[in-house]
Every structure is written in structure tokens, then in C-alpha cells.
Chains A and B, each alone.
Chain A
């Protein structure tokens, strides 16, 4: 009965590869997000989709491309992976404020 599920949980890959992370929520929320958490635990918003519409696109390299096939799914595709992409990526979803976000358990990406 996981509310926000991400796959895979761990991803180790070589520089230059292309990889995808998938996220699904079964809460019926309208908005989904991708956050990046760096090694110092700092969380930074990357993208946000509301009902399949991109509403937030922060300063993220265009090697990162989100895709939302429907409002329950938000996937993240990363091209030409670099060492600096190593981080934990969190998916989250929300309905209207003020109830905050529900987070997935994260995907730890390690680029070697």
C-alpha cells in the first residue's frame, strides 16, 4: 500500500550512460515533484508537474528530462550521466496546501 513508490532504490552506473527513475503515487494527488538531495542533505526542487503539466522547471541541466504520462506517474530520465549527478533523488506528491508533501523513499544514484 505504498503511497509514493520509486524504482529503483539504488542505481550505480558509469559516466556517460543514460538512466531512468520511475515514480508512482496512489494517493490521487494532482501534483508531483522531483527533488535532489546532495551529500550534505540539502534538498533542491528540480521539477513539478500538475495534472501532467510542467509547472516548475528549475535551473537543471537539460540532460534531465521529466515525463508524466498521467497524473499518477512522474519519471525522470537522465542522459549522459556525470559524476556530479550522484545524489539521492526524491519523488513527492501533494494535493492542495496545507497538507504538505508525501515523499517516496528515494533513489540513490551513484555515477562512477
Chain B
């Protein structure tokens, strides 16, 4: 079955870059997503990338995809304390299968 893995915790200092990594197993994945969850809130879609792309940039966010290694990363430039949250990667395809989520990476930003 599908499996998505992430490291559990990342701590950075304010102003540094953060890189959150994710690996997945399903080669039929068509779309890959990054979601952010703040305490007590639902998941908010940050960005997504098609599996035929290598990179996508959206303001402070850069997504890199290595399809051969099934590795996805999210880079946050100039990390701010407001970026402290749990970040989930997720993968899906064009079929009716629901998105499969990773276990989430808790990002802590030190002032």
C-alpha cells in the first residue's frame, strides 16, 4: 500500500531556511502536496506539485521533487516564528483514492 514518511521534528532559528523532507512509496502518485497545521486548527494547503515537475516556487516556499528517489522537500526561506506548525506532505493520484498523508513534521522556530 501507499506509505509516506517524514521526520518528526525540526528546529531552526528565525531568519534561517527550513527544509522539511518527505519520502513516499507509490509510483503512481500524480500530485504531491504540502499542508500546514497550526495548533487547534485544520490543515491548510500550502502548495502542490505535479509528479512531472522537478521544482515549484511560491514566494518563500520552494518544493523540490526527485521522482526517481520518491523524495519531496519543502524549503521555507527566511523562516518566521509564525511558521511554527506541523507540516504534512501528502500524495494522491487521478483515481478515486484519497490522499495519503505523512506523519507530519513539527517545525519549531526559535526567536
A91, B37: Cα distance in complex, Å: 14
Which residues on A sit within 8 Å (CB–CB) of B45? 99-102
Q: What class of interface size applies to chain A in its complex with B? A: 20 to 34
Whether A98 touches B103, Cβ cut-off 8 Å, given contacts A43-B88, A104-B42, is no
Which residues on B sit within 8 Å (CB–CB) of A55? 96
- Summarize B's interface: helix, strand, loop or mixed: strand
Whether A90 touches B104, Cβ cut-off 8 Å, given contacts A98-B30, A100-B99, is no
| Nearest CB in chain A to that of B42: its residue | A103
A56, B33: Cα distance in complex, Å: 20
Quote the shortest CB–CB distance from A2 to chain B (angstroms): 10
Which residues on B sit within 8 Å (CB–CB) of A102? 45
Pick the contact of A41: B40, B41, B44, B104 (CB < 8 A). B104
A88, B16: Cα distance in complex, Å: 32
| Nearest CB in chain B to that of A91: its residue | B42
Which residues on B sit within 8 Å (CB–CB) of A106? 40-42
Which residues on A sit within 8 Å (CB–CB) of B42? 4, 90, 103-106
Within 8 Å of chain A (Cβ to Cβ): is B94? yes
The answer to whether B44 and A100 touch across the interface, beta carbons within 8 angstroms, is no
Which residues on B sit within 8 Å (CB–CB) of A62? none
Q: Can you list, as one digit per residue, whether each of A1-45 has a CB less than 8 Å from chain B (1) or not (0)?
A: 000100000000000000000000000000001010000111101
Which residues does A use to contact B, with CB under 8 Å?
4, 33, 35, 40-43, 45, 48, 50, 55-56, 90, 92, 97-106
Knowing that A35-B101, A105-B40 touch, tell me 9 more A-B residue pairs with CB under 8 angstroms.
A41-B86, A43-B88, A55-B96, A90-B42, A97-B31, A100-B99, A101-B43, A103-B44, A105-B42
